[in-house]
C-alpha cells in the first residue's frame, strides 16, 4: 500500500505542475508586440463604452438653468483616438498604455437635445497599466 501511495502522490504532483499557469514573465501580452496588440484591442472596447455613455447622455441630457431658460447639455467623444505603449521595466506591470481622445460638450436650444452644437472640446488622456495580463485603470 505504501508503494501505491507514493506513486499516487507522484502522479498528483505531476498533474499539478502540468496544470499550473505559465510564469508571468512569459505571458503573451508581456512581449512588446503582444502588449501593443492587446492594448489596441482594449482601447477599442474602452472607447465603445465611452461612446455608449455619450449616447445615453444625449438621450437624457443634463439640464442647467441659464439666465433666461434651461439649457440641455451632454458630453460625447469624437470618433478618433490614439494609443501609446511604454515599457516600465517593472516585472509586475511591464507596460503602461496611454489612451488619448477628445470629449466634446454640446449645448442644446431645446430640452430634447435635437438642436445642439458643440461649445467646447476637452482633450482626455487616460493611463492604464498591464498587470497579470489585464489592462487596469
Taking alpha carbons only, the member of 70, 80, 90 closest to residue 24 is 90
Q: What is the mean pLDDT of the chain?
A: 79
In a domain, 85, yes or no: yes
In a domain, 91, yes or no: yes
In a domain, 70, yes or no: yes
Does residue 74 contact residue 58 with C-beta atoms inside 8 Å?
yes
Domain range for 42 is: 29-136
In a domain, 12, yes or no: no
What are the pLDDT digits (tens) for 103-120? Answer: 999 998 877 778 889 999
Domain tally, the chain: 1
In a domain, 15, yes or no: no
Q: 15 pLDDT exceeds 60?
A: no
In a domain, 5, yes or no: no
- The band of 68, judged by pLDDT with boundaries at 50, 70 and 90, is confident
Please state the pTM of the whole predicted model.
0.70
Amino acid at each position: 500500500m505504501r508503494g501505491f501511495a507514493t506513486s499516487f502522490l507522484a502522479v498528483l504532483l505531476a498533474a499539478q505542475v502540468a496544470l499550473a499557469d505559465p510564469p508571468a514573465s512569459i505571458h503573451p501580452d508581456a512581449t512588446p508586440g503582444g502588449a501593443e496588440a492587446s492594448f489596441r484591442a482594449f482601447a477599442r472596447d474602452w472607447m465603445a463604452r465611452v461612446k455608449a455613455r455619450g449616447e445615453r447622455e444625449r438621450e437624457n441630457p443634463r439640464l442647467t438653468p441659464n439666465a433666461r431658460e434651461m439649457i440641455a447639455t451632454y458630453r460625447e467623444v469624437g470618433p478618433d483616438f490614439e494609443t501609446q505603449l511604454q515599457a516600465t521595466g517593472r516585472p509586475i506591470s511591464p507596460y503602461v498604455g496611454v489612451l488619448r481622445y477628445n470629449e466634446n460638450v454640446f449645448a442644446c436650444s431645446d430640452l430634447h437635445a435635437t438642436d445642439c452644437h458643440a461649445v467646447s472640446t476637452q482633450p482626455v488622456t487616460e493611463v492604464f497599466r498591464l498587470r497579470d495580463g489585464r489592462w487596469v485603470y
